[in-house]
Chains A and B, each alone.
Chain A
Amino acid sequence: MPLDNPSANTRKYKLVGTRPDRQDGFDKVTGRAKFGADAVAPGQLAGSILRSPHAHARIRSIDTSKAEKLAGVKAVVTRADFPDKTAGDSGLFDILTNIMARDKALYEGHAVAAVAAVSPAVAKQALKLIKVDYEVLPHVTDVDEAMKPTAPVLHPKLFTEGLAEKPKKPSNIARRYEFGHGDVEAGFAKADIIVERSFKTEATHQGYIEPHACLANVSPDGSGELWVCTQGHFMVRDYCARLLGLEISKLRVTASEIGGGFGGKTTVFLEPVALALSRKANRPVKLVMSRDEVFKCTGPTSSASIDVKIGVTKDGLITAADATLRYQGGAFPGSPAEFGAMSAFAQYHLDNVRTIAYDVVTNRPKQAAYRAPGAPMANFAVESMIEELAHKLGMAPIDFRIKNAAREGTRSSYGPVYGPIGLLATLEEARKHPHFKAPLGPNQGRGMAAGFWFNFGGQSCVSLNIPVDGTVTISVGSPDIGGSRASMCLMTAEELGIPYEHVRAIIADTSSLGYNDVTDGSRTTFATGMACILAARDAIKKLCQRAARMWGIPEEAVTWEKGYAKPAGANAGNFPPLSLKEIAAASGGTGGPIAGHHEYSADGAGVSFATHICDVEVDPETGATRIVRYTVLQDAGKAVHPSYVEGQFQGGAVQGIGWALNEEYVYGKDGRLQNAGFLDYRIPVCSDLPMIDTKILEIPNPGHPYGVRGVGETSIVPPLAAVANAVSNAVGVRMTELPISPPRLLKALDTVSLAKAS
């Protein structure tokens, strides 16, 4: 879209780029902020969900009669209470089947029934009285196993899409994808060195500290309210209304403060169940997940199995790159295999490239987006190979990357041609960084990786209101997960030319604003932020109209400058500038309240690149790895609130470190999750880490008036490979499976020393 700020490069900002206190900070440091589980409604009931203990089982029957008779039980729901209203929308039908099992339980933890009762204790007791007759079926949880023709088939109606011919038999392969350009075979023919390897990564969970929670209240007339922690309350509203046959406009959803999401709160789990219970009981119903439920029943990301083949000339030019990616996304189609395939080689300039991806279903919980979904595992495989090739070529890995880096004008591996991008800038900056030259101690190794993420724009709707005292409220529809309200206020104040403190942002409910897409795809500061800027411009137009009216001159004769309406020139008349505050104070007499609006679907989210450098120290006797030093260099386009940009860099890096070293879903032979808690699902703790150094680069995005690019997701893409490369460089063994847990690393070290000995 055409934007009227071609000078994003040179524009001087008064507020954007500063680090004021966030306005919701006070509530969050005093315990006053209300999160998902913090709401209460008069007369509320406690909900609880019965879940399948089996990884795969046919549900022959469900007998709820005893539970219904228990004193204090007000409603029981099962599949019978969720008739199919999805009208052939298979994605929606999968969501319906995921929130309440139908003919089969497809994973351990799959919801089978739910109860609302006067207390949590009664609800729990009622669950024990529900009799479910299961016929246990063979299960599969590993992606490679699930693709075998002998694997138990989850869905008898699932036929692989994306093949030239429709297969004759159903399988667990939901879809095949292919991307690329050039001629890969011809490219390999030109190569002097070809390296080929296979990699595996385990599923990891987003690990937000706040379990899913909601409070539903539906009246017999079909109107309802829902309080919920989610990344997108409009999405929740639309899904719930469609699944339950409610009118969308009658369901008002309010987003609570949200205790982390990272992609995991971009769909519904509890919400339709809570609404169904509330409708049946005619009472408010609160449903809160336990941590165990969060791990077993909400989306982790995919586990993956990836083959990579890269060919290079002796002087270090990549001639061909080829990868096959297999991602299991749990019990339903929709793993981010496609994004993995699209992003795998996105950081390189390649004449011949091909990626093939398979979306596979298994008896695991349905995956949900996790920060740059699909990209980190693909990046781990590719950047590990790049490191290995650099060693084979005798080139410094950073020089090899710079030589082959994508730049403006490069045709990306997934199709589009890049505009101005920041990859080379991050690589060059990395090479100059003191971290890169710092000496390493014994048993230490340094690794690096470069990563990519698309970023997303999408639908946003913003309302801006100016009360008579000249302060400003912006109502946005994007839940604020990491401080985005501060960025919205900064951009709005910048545009209006008023102090940051005069602007307040709220997350409006679904009945107060038009549709807003989910807070995902690193879209909020970019797209909703741009909507704030454009809503401010709309308000400025109206402020100028009012000034014109106050002065008695034509509207066109008024301009807006740094918070003041001014006559456009000498011909317009000689009037002292009117401040926003003055115009607002007079608004009652000049035409009533002043407001600005903007609603649109934003394009032009600039792609994002980052380079990470990691030093580790390995204990060769135990296989323990410690992160010694870590640096993130990333292009932010324009950092609106640099502290929160750094925070995104640091948080993503640490999630990636966890993924690389210790986080994994561990399944038993029975297909049950062995580590559904924070004790054994080991996310990094404070003492595991050093400070995470950051360097913000600003290569403006031409698609945003201030040059902003999304920053939230890219930071989780390079760490897997950066850590793995550092470990491999420390111990001389290439680690091709994640996590690089101590037992796995020690075994690899033993294998090598045995090989050396013989």
Chain B
Amino acid sequence: MSGIHVTTKINGDEVQFVCEADESLLDVLRNRLGLTGAKEGCGTGDCGACSVTVDGRLTCSCLVLGAEVDGHDIGTIEGMAMGDELHPLQKKFIEHAALQCGICTPGFLVAAKALLDHNPEPTETEIRFGLAGNLCRCTGYDKIVRAVQAAAEEMNSAKKIQQKVA
């Protein structure tokens, strides 16, 4: 087997790697690039723990081949905070105790960010269906939903203040 050379952008940085044809993006991230924030909970797209974005679109990295992402932009949990400033979702997850064991947390955060990017003021039902592809076995989801609601509120009020200033 000869490796496939791939050039891509991950969290804004150009990255090159060589992978086997049958290797998933998740395996590439974790095993070749040391980005272990995306987790493998099932390997079959049923748990969402490996969530990433490809060109801004939410997907399970276990359902993408590494070879496919040549020329595309990948977003992972490692790129969510801006320098030392956590994203509001990350802050609210901690504040609201929206994680217990924390294994599903990176996937939830990536999915929640994609949800809010697309729909900044989701209803509780929209949040629940928007995050239905992410399994959490610890929390019963209550505190996760509340954390997303709180983050949305904070982001929206920050936006409104910005708009007023402008």
Q: Are chains A and B touching directly in their complex (CB below 8 angstroms)?
A: yes
B66 within 8 A of A: no
Are B102 and A689 in contact, CB atoms less than 8 angstroms apart?
A: no
Are B109 and A482 in contact, CB atoms less than 8 angstroms apart?
A: no
Known: A121-B20, A654-B140, A683-B137. A31 touches B47 (CB 8 A): no
Enumerate chain A residues within 8 angstroms of B68, measured Cβ to Cβ: none
Enumerate chain A residues within 8 angstroms of B47, measured Cβ to Cβ: 209, 291, 678
Are B101 and A481 in contact, CB atoms less than 8 angstroms apart?
A: yes
Are B135 and A685 in contact, CB atoms less than 8 angstroms apart?
A: yes
Chain B residue nearest to A206 (CB atoms) is B137
Q: Which of A25, A34, A208 contacts B137 (CB 8 A)?
A: A208
Are A259 and B42 in contact, CB atoms less than 8 angstroms apart?
A: no
Q: Chain A CB within 10 Å — which of B36, B104, B145 has the most?
A: B36
Are B101 and A21 in contact, CB atoms less than 8 angstroms apart?
A: no
Query: Interface segment, A97-105, A179-187, A405-413, A642-650?
Result: A642-650
B55 within 8 A of A: no
Are B140 and A677 in contact, CB atoms less than 8 angstroms apart?
A: no
Enumerate chain B residues within 8 angstroms of A22, measured Cβ to Cβ: 94, 97
Digitize B146-158: 1 where CB-to-A-CB distance is under 8 Å, 0 elsewhere.
1000000000000
Complex alpha-carbon distance, A260 and B136, angstroms: 9
Mark out the residues of chain A between 259 and 273 whose CB falls within 8 Å of any chain B CB in the assembled complex: 259-262
Complex alpha-carbon distance, A741 and B141, angstroms: 22
Q: Which of B43, B104, B125 contacts A291 (CB 8 A)?
A: B43
Are B97 and A19 in contact, CB atoms less than 8 angstroms apart?
A: yes
Q: Which of A25, A288, A651 contacts B139 (CB 8 A)?
A: A651
Return A78 CB to nearest CB of chain B, in Å. Answer: 26
Complex alpha-carbon distance, A527 and B39, angstroms: 32
Known: A30-B90, A647-B138, A683-B135. A259 touches B103 (CB 8 A): yes
Enumerate chain B residues within 8 angstroms of A684, measured Cβ to Cβ: 140-141
Enumerate chain B residues within 8 angstroms of A262, measured Cβ to Cβ: 137
Return B143 CB to nearest CB of chain A, in Å. Answer: 6
Q: Which of B99, B103, B144 contacts A25 (CB 8 A)?
A: B99
Chain B residue nearest to A656 (CB atoms) is B140
Enumerate chain A residues within 8 angstroms of B41, measured Cβ to Cβ: 209-211, 259, 291, 678
Return B22 CB to nearest CB of chain A, in Å. Answer: 8
Q: Which of A29, A211, A643, A677 contacts B90 (CB 8 A)?
A: A29
Q: Which of B78, B104, B127 contacts A30 (CB 8 A)?
A: B78
Mark out the residues of chain B between 87 and 101 whose CB falls within 8 Å of any chain A CB in the assembled complex: 90, 93-97, 99-101
Q: Which of A483, A686, A691 contacts B132 (CB 8 A)?
A: A686
Are A28 and B42 in contact, CB atoms less than 8 angstroms apart?
A: no
B28 within 8 A of A: no
Enumerate chain B residues within 8 angstroms of A654, measured Cβ to Cβ: 139-141
Return A125 CB to nearest CB of chain B, in Å. Answer: 12
A754 within 8 A of B: no
Complex alpha-carbon distance, A641 and B94, angstroms: 13
Known: A260-B103, A679-B46. A692 touches B142 (CB 8 A): yes
B114 within 8 A of A: no
A33 within 8 A of B: yes
What interface size band does chain B fall in? Answer: 35 or more
Are B104 and A209 in contact, CB atoms less than 8 angstroms apart?
A: yes
Mark out the residues of chain A between 4 and 54 whose CB falls within 8 Å of any chain B CB in the assembled complex: 19, 21-22, 24-26, 28-35, 37-38
Complex alpha-carbon distance, A290 and B136, angstroms: 18
Complex alpha-carbon distance, A685 and B39, angstroms: 18
A655 within 8 A of B: yes
Complex alpha-carbon distance, A657 and B90, angstroms: 28
Mark out the residues of chain B between 48 and 87 whose CB falls within 8 Å of any chain A CB in the assembled complex: 49, 76-78, 80-81, 86
Complex alpha-carbon distance, A655 and B30, angstroms: 30
A257 within 8 A of B: yes
B38 within 8 A of A: yes
Complex alpha-carbon distance, A291 and B103, angstroms: 14
A150 within 8 A of B: no
Q: Chain A CB within 10 Å — which of B94, B142, B145, B146 has the most?
A: B142
A207 within 8 A of B: yes
Digitize B118-139: 1 where CB-to-A-CB distance is under 8 Å, 0 elsewhere.
0000001101110111111111
Are A651 and B42 in contact, CB atoms less than 8 angstroms apart?
A: no
Are B142 and A691 in contact, CB atoms less than 8 angstroms apart?
A: yes
Are B80 and A30 in contact, CB atoms less than 8 angstroms apart?
A: yes
Are B44 and A31 in contact, CB atoms less than 8 angstroms apart?
A: no
Q: Which of A25, A260, A691 contacts B145 (CB 8 A)?
A: A691
Complex alpha-carbon distance, A24 and B99, angstroms: 10
Known: A209-B39, A210-B101, A643-B96. A653 touches B137 (CB 8 A): no
Digitize A447-462: 1 where CB-to-B-CB distance is under 8 Å, 0 elsewhere.
0000000000000000
Enumerate chain A residues within 8 angstroms of B132, measured Cβ to Cβ: 685-687
A258 within 8 A of B: yes
Are A686 and B134 in contact, CB atoms less than 8 angstroms apart?
A: yes
Return B109 CB to nearest CB of chain A, in Å. Answer: 6
Enumerate chain B residues within 8 angstroms of A260, measured Cβ to Cβ: 100-101, 103, 137-138
Chain B residue nearest to A261 (CB atoms) is B101
Known: A25-B99, A31-B35, A481-B101. A290 touches B43 (CB 8 A): yes
Known: A37-B30, A647-B139. 11 other contacts (CB 8 A): A24-B102, A29-B105, A31-B38, A209-B137, A288-B40, A677-B46, A678-B44, A686-B127, A686-B131, A686-B145, A692-B142
> What would be 25 A-B contacts, judged by CB atoms less than 8 Å apart?
A30-B78, A31-B38, A37-B40, A208-B103, A209-B39, A209-B136, A210-B39, A257-B103, A259-B104, A291-B41, A482-B101, A483-B99, A641-B97, A646-B97, A655-B140, A678-B41, A678-B42, A678-B47, A678-B135, A679-B44, A679-B46, A685-B132, A686-B145, A687-B131, A689-B140
